[in-house]
Amino acid sequence: MSVREFVVLGTASQVPTRHRNHNGYLLRWDGEGILFDPGEGTQRQMLHAGVAAHDINRICVTHFHGDHSLGLAGVIQRINLDGVPHPVTAHYPASGQKFFDRLRYATAYRETVRLAEEPVAADGTLARAASYVLDARRLSHPVESFGYRLTEPDGRRMVPRLLARHGIKGPDVGRIQREGRLDGITLEEVSEPKPGQRFAFVMDTRLCEGVDALAEGCDMLVIESTFLDEDAALATDHGHLTAGQAGRVARDAGVRHLVLTHFSQRYTDPSAFERQARAAGFEGELTVAADLVRIPLPKRA
């Protein structure tokens, strides 16, 4: 049984608070773990959330501000200390290579794990894995920032009623799935389309084309909403979104489950973010992220 869930390690923008750690998120996608934007303290939050260094196969950093990357030093050393048996791949804006180098080699330690550096310099596909394609899109922030998107290829779901009608059972089910036809019966006759799942991670940006492209048709969209709508001018100045803007993006993109995070410490009432995203017309599932919550990806449509 494949597990797809989003584990929230931290939700604070800029500085941690008593209730929120710096950013940090782990997406479990079948057998793989993708760590997004590990801020300071991520290693300890992983412990609290039941995430092990072994769970990490890929690291995606949107940009090199401290709340999205200071945790790299600790997490990379921990991956090596624990002797993670598989290679780990890191994606981050190419323009921040010097920051990545410093964080990777912040202090002395013994390197035991193969960490592949795959910096992102432009929009496009970064990786094709068995169950997803990973893409990056440029965002709009004072330092270069990229959002990430996982797209599962569309597939087909077998329909027991149709299989029965054509008398296909046992090992023949697997055969028609693999080969596309069996004794003159096509796969299409015994199955229905199964749209692939889509997940996007959109962090530190103003509204821009990249935000819409990443969000389009997502089953789950994780998006920053640093500010509330009354501070929209501040948000634009600093290259951030408001809760209402995030809600509108999700509404227009047909998102099924919206996860708001990366909150400024100036606000004390998390429910205000939900109210403003709803007021913008978003009607799907909505989570105002809190540290250490786990959010399953929505069941397939």
| Shortest distance in whole angstroms from residue 5 CB to Zn ion | 23
Q: Check binding of 77 to Zn ion (CB under 5 A).
A: no
Nearer to Zn ion, 23 or 191 (CB): 23
Instruction: Determine the residue with CB nearest Zn ion.
Output: 67
**Minimum CB distance to Zn ion, residue 80 (Å):** 26
Q: How far is the CB of 65 from Zn ion (least distance, A)?
A: 5
Q: Does 144 bind Zn ion (CB under 5 A)?
A: no
Q: How many CB atoms lie within 10 A of CB 62?
A: 29
- For 173, half-sphere exposure in the C-beta direction (CA atoms, 13 angstrom radius) is 13
Q: Is residue 103 a contact partner of residue 76, using CB atoms and an 8 Å limit? A: yes
Binding-site member from 32, 144, 204, 291 for Zn ion (CB under 5 A): 204
Which CB sits closer to Zn ion, 29 or 74? 74
**What is the C-alpha radius of gyration for the chain, rounded to an integer number of angstroms?**
21
Q: Can you tell me the distance from the alpha carbon of 173 to that of 168, in angstroms, rounded to the nearest whole number?
A: 6
Give one DSSP letter per residue of 57-100, joined into a string: SEEE----SHHHHTTHHHHHHHHHHTT-SS-EEEE-BGGGHHHH
* Binding segment (CB under 5 A) for Zn ion, from list 10-18, 28-36, 120-128, 191-199: 10-18
Catalytic residue among 37, 55, 67, 291: 67
Q: Is 67 in the site for Zn ion (CB under 5 A)?
A: yes
> 105: which DSSP letter?
T
Among the residue ranges 52-60, 67-75, 85-93, 116-124, the one whose residues contact Zn ion (CB under 5 A): 67-75
Q: Which is nearer to Zn ion, 199 or 227 (CB)?
A: 227
Q: What tokens appear for 273 in the block? A: 């973010």
Angle in degrees, CA 123, 9, 52, rounded to 5? 95
Q: Which stretch binds Zn ion (CB under 5 A): 13-21, 147-155, 189-197, 206-214?
A: 13-21
Taking the complex as a whole, the smallest distance from the CB of residue 24 to Zn ion amounts, in Å, to: 12
Least distance CB 35 / Zn ion (angstroms): 16
CB of 37 to Zn ion, least distance (A): 8
Indicate the residue among 204 and 274 with the shorter CB distance to Zn ion.
204
Sequence-ordered list of residues with C-beta below 8 angstroms from that of 188, at least 6 positions apart, any chain: 156
The β-bridge partners of 186 are 181
Question: In the complex with Zn ion, which residue's Cβ is closer, 197 or 264?
Answer: 264
| Total interface residues for Zn ion by CB under 5 A | 3
Write the CA distances from 99 to 9, 35, 193, 274, 299, integer angstroms.
22, 18, 44, 35, 38
Q: How far is CA 53 from CA 93, 157, 179, 282, in A?
A: 23, 34, 39, 36
Taking the least distance from each CB to Zn ion, the nearer of 37 and 135 is 37
End-to-end CA distance of the chain: 18
For position 274 contacting Zn ion by CB under 5 A, the verdict is no
13 binds Zn ion (CB under 5 A): yes
What are the backbone angles phi and psi of residue 167, rounded to the nearest 5°? 65, 30
Q: Has 67 been annotated as catalytic?
A: yes
Which is nearest to 252 in space by CA: 286, 289, 215, 219? Answer: 215
Return the range that interacts with Zn ion (CB under 5 A); candidates 9-17, 87-95, 133-141, 177-185: 9-17
Which residues are known catalytic residues? 67
Binding-site ranges for Zn ion (CB under 5 A): 13, 67, 204
